[in-house]
Amino acid sequence: MTPSPTPSRSALALFDFDGTITTLETMPVFLRRSIPRHRLVLGWIVLAPLILAYRLRLVPGTFVRRVVVWFGYAGLSCSAVGTAGEAFARDYLPTVLRAEAVERLAWHKEQGHRVVVVSGGLDVYLAPWCKAAGVELLGSSLLSRGGILTGRYSGRQCVRDEKVRRVRKLCDLHAYPVIYAYGDTPEDHAMLAIADRKYYQWRELGPAR
């Protein structure tokens, strides 16, 4: 159900991406499409115990993503991965968007609200998608030197409390009479906590203010 209109044009809407705007986690798909095949094959063998531990909730997702990014991207050219990201945003992401998310994004934009995607996913593919969608992005970035990826993140992954830190740095929250937030995993709880209207797995939590 679409929220009732807000009295001000300056409301803020914060959206997680994977699993909230999309029907599935897109980062693993992008990894498979952008990492050279020989690394993928070797990665399945070397990193299999780590992936299993993650699925058993024995290690955090932030650690697993850090290892996978290092294993997959260290030494690759920024231009090659950037090209893969643009193709992924253009050709794949539109096929996995949630209908309710597309509707809600359109509603917020029609109301004149400021819309920001706040995601732990990589900006190499999220940035072109957000640009095409006409929304802002706070995401995770890959570190490079001389046009070559180091295999490390540039700064922290944009998850949990880091999402809130990034939002506060980008926006003066006191300037918005209403803040909406949408998420689908525990990594979004901190962001949901700063919102007046919060939606978890597309169900509103608590009464609206």
Residues 159-200 have pLDDT tens digits of: 999 999 999 999 999 999 999 999 999 999 999 999 999 999
Q: What is the pTM of this model?
A: 0.91
Residue 198 identity: K
Domains of the chain: 12-205 (3.40.50.1000)
Greater confidence (77 vs 52) lies with 77
**pLDDT at res. 3:** 60
DSSP 3-state percent helix, strand, coil across the chain (nearest 5): 50, 20, 30
Bridging pattern class, strands 12-15 and 197-200: unpaired
Cβ-based neighbours of 27, under 8 Å, separated by 6 or more: 18, 65, 120, 121, 122
Confidence class of residue 105 from pLDDT cuts 50, 70 and 90? very high
Mean pLDDT score of the chain, rounded to an integer? 93
Question: Mean per-residue pLDDT for 74-86?
Answer: 97
pLDDT at 31 over 60: yes
pLDDT at 89 over 50: yes
Of 66, 29, 67, 60, the C-alpha closest to 160 is 60
pLDDT at 103 over 70: yes
When mean pLDDT is compared across 47-56, 108-117, 144-153, the lowest value belongs to 47-56
pLDDT at 127 over 80: yes
Confidence class of residue 57 from pLDDT cuts 50, 70 and 90? confident
Question: Mean per-residue pLDDT for 101-119?
Answer: 97
**pLDDT at res. 5:** 45
Lookup: tokens for 5: 């209109």
pLDDT-above-90 percentage for the chain: 82
Of 26, 204, 186, 24, the C-alpha closest to 104 is 204
> Coil, strand or helix: which one is 35?
coil
